[in-house]
Amino acid sequence: MTEITSLPLRSEIPVEQTWDLASVYPTPADWDAACAELTAQLPALAAFRGRLAEGPATLLALLSPMQEAGVLLGKILIYASNGASVDTGDQTAAARAGQARTLMANFAAATAFFDPELMAVGLDQIDAWIAQTPELAFFSHYVDRLRLRQAHVRSGEVEEVLALTGDPFSGPFNVYGMLNNADMVFRPAVAADETELEVGQASIGALVTHPDRAVRRSAWESYADSYLAFRNTHAAAFTAGVKQNVFNARVRGYASSLHASLESNYIPVEVFHNLIAVFKKHLPTWHRYWRLRKRALGLDALGVYDIKAPLAGSKPVVPFEQAVEWIAEGMAPLGQAYVDVLRRGCLEERWVDRARNRGKREGAYSSGSHGTHPFILMSYQDDLFSLSTLAHELGHSLHSYHTRRTQPFIYGRYGLFLAEVASNFNQAMVRDYLFRTQTERAFQIGLIEEAMSNYHRYFFIMPTLAQFELEAHSRAERGAPLSADILTGITADLFAEGYGGEVDFDQPRIGITWAQFGHMYMNFYVYQYATGISAAHALAQPILAGDQAAAGRYLDFLKSGGSRYPLETLQQAGVDMTTPEPVEAAFGVLAGLVDRLETLLE
């Protein structure tokens, strides 16, 4: 047999396919110097402990160096974590990432006294200082947020201990990352003509969309089987992460891990439960789609590996530069300035690490900090799926770009609930543009396949995993056992309901899906993909209809960062996520795509 697809080593990748980490620090020695600089700053920050009651001048004197140190820490973290992500086998890069996490914990410990001392002074007194000190006006929303969560803030000593746990508590996720991206080995996929294709985190996305069903099936089985082979290690790491979430929730006095995750981000838990209820109500839409796919592919049974099989004769080929151009055209309603930044980042400033290389971590993400431009990691495949992923990550990146240019450091983080709105918004805008301009039937079918693949991930996989996450945490909270078999069984039962008997059910391979997502280590993250896609479509619709005021409100949303509460920010942009209506409307979009596909296939 001849191996026809092999992932290159990182050292073999052309520089134009990589991101420019030298824009953060030109050399590792410069990074080392930044670490030493930050370490030297921490005692001066810690020296403010016990002094905030002195008055507004002291508060101002702390806020400036604390934010400057935060900016420095952000650059240190980005350089280290991004360097490790592109080659998880690089031990020097891995050590650098570990060193950065330790620095982050040390910074948190040095400033852990801040919130408890503000509370000890009295938040009404802090408000009075702000009113009489114009330089402190920007600090008002921070105090409002602290007032809402003050019941869950502990003493300075306890907060310092909790901050110091940040480094060792990163262990489960780090174990997962090394196992998942560096140590796990996948057997090759085998085509119908018996040629072999390498399976890896950077290639699995292309393999499960391959026109050869033998490739799709063997790639999917190989991928799942490697997770099954390490299921006990994955379960140990995941269970440790769940127990850490439970520990943190109890220490801070939250009713549950779910409450700790949502309430600390100023989201009522009803938003989570509304989403799950609407998702379960609309499962028949997914069942209809599975039936349509099976009929279109001429199959007796639809496998999970057929969910992204191409339905047209050929898949559109979309080189990276063409993807950037189409994305820019799709985002044109937001104005030339937005588009210019997007093009410059992709084509000149090397924001995007798009290479497919051995050892590159799974998936895609956008990162960056105050003091850096955004960075995007992905494995670009020259197809519509990669175009959509690039549009998604550029949504995150342009959100961060506008926030960091507008907001001070303390409002530079806008929270996960808002993050997935901007990313899905870009996909909705670009998809609409392509539907209007690329009218050839095969391309239209390809667009719908991409859209359905996106919805499948965000509006099917993620809500299913959110239910799994809730059950796993509930078990931990009541002292029930968790093991690889239990976790796999929970997942399989949830997917059985979701597939509704329309998909050939390989219980162990479908059940191990829980182990394939690093998001499971980010306490109740995944539900926000579904709320994000719902809010994104609601915000895109008036802009696509030509409402310039809506475009202006959206740009204001991007610039707001964390300077307002998430639901308030969305309401000012034009969508109310406290009700189920946006999720219902998004399922309407999904049903419309199924209708459109059925018409094209007929």
In a domain? residue 214: no
pLDDT over 70 (residue 410)? yes
Q: Which residues pair with 197 in a beta bridge?
A: 5, 189
Residue 4 scores a pLDDT above 60: no
* Average pLDDT along the chain: 95
The β-bridge relationship of strands 196-197 and 189-190 is antiparallel
Q: How large is the average pLDDT for residues 220-234?
A: 97
Which residue range is the domain that position 93 belongs to?
Answer: 10-169
21 located within any domain: yes
Q: Answer whether residue 336 is part of any domain.
A: no
Confidence of residue 485 (pLDDT cuts 50, 70, 90): very high
Whole-angstrom CA distances from 335 to 164, 230, 249, 405 are 45, 49, 43, 17
pLDDT at 320 over 60: yes
Do 324 and 540 contact (CB within 8 A), yes or no?
A: no
pLDDT beyond 90 at 6: no
Runs of H (alpha helix) within 138-282:
140-149, 156-164, 166-169, 171-178, 204-207, 213-229, 231-251, 257-263, 269-281
pLDDT at res. 362: 81
Sequence-distant (6+) residues with CB within 8 A of 69 are: 38, 41, 42, 45, 107
**How confident is the model over 407-426, as a mean pLDDT?**
94
Place of tokens 């003509």: 193
The pLDDT tens digits for 36-73 are: 999 999 999 999 999 999 999 999 999 999 999 999 99
CA dist., res. 271 & res. 273, Å (int):
6
What pLDDT shows up at residue 5? 54
CATH of residue 26's domain is 1.20.140.70
Sign of CA dihedral 198, 204, 208, 209: negative
In a domain, 37, yes or no: yes
Residue 89 lies in a domain: yes
Q: Using pLDDT thresholds of 50, 70 and 90, give the confidence band for residue 414.
A: very high
pLDDT of residue 201: 87
Q: Element (H or E) spanning 353, and its range?
A: strand 352-353
The reported pLDDT for the residue numbered 167 is 86
* Residue partners of 30: CB distance under 8 A and separation at least 6: none
Q: Determine phi and psi for 595, rounding to 5 degrees.
A: -60, -45
For residue 472, the one-letter residue type is A
340 within some domain: no
104 inside domain: yes
CA max distance for the chain: 78
97: pLDDT strictly greater than 50: yes
Mean pLDDT of 398-423: 95
Dump pLDDT digits (tens) for 345-396.
999 999 999 999 988 988 899 999 999 999 999 999 999 999 999 999 999 9
Confidence check: pLDDT of 548 > 50: yes
Distance, in Å, from the CA atom of 394 to the CA atom of 413, rounded to the nearest integer, reads: 17
- The CA distance from 384 to 89, in Å, is 30
pLDDT of residue 181: 85
Token reading at 55? 């008055």
CB neighbour list of residue 412: distance below 8 Å, 6 or more residues apart: 369, 370, 403, 404, 561, 562
Instruction: Report which residue type is found at 450.
Output: E
Neighbouring CB atoms inside 10 A of 183's CB total: 12
Q: Is residue 291 part of a domain?
A: no
How far is residue 233 from each of residues 43, 230, 483, 484, measured CA to CA in Å?
A: 39, 5, 10, 8
Active site residues: 393
Asked whether 83 and 23 are in contact (CB, 8 A), the reply is no
pLDDT, position 457 = 93
The amino acid present at 370, given as its one-letter code, is: H
pLDDT value at 89 more than 60: yes
Helix (H) or strand (E) holding 526: none
Closest CA to 455 of 282, 237, 574, 323: 282
Residue 1 has pLDDT above 70, yes or no: no
Burial of 90 (0-12, 13-18, 19+ CB in 10 A): middle
CB-count burial class (<10 Å; 0-12, 13-18, 19+) for 436: exposed
**For residue 305, what are the CA distances in angstroms to 125, 492, 496?**
61, 16, 15
Asked whether the beta carbons of 503 and 293 are under 8 A apart, the reply is no
Can you read off the two tokens belonging to residue 19? 């991101």
* Inter-residue contact 590 to 459 (CB < 8 Å): yes
Cα(318)–Cα(324) distance, rounded to whole angstroms?
10
Q: Both tokens of residue 504? A: 């050939």
Mean pLDDT on 168-183: 90
Residue 240's pLDDT band (boundaries 50, 70, 90)? very high
3 falls in which pLDDT band (50, 70, 90)?
A: very low
Q: How many domains does the chain have?
A: 1
Which structure tokens are listed for 70? 């935060």
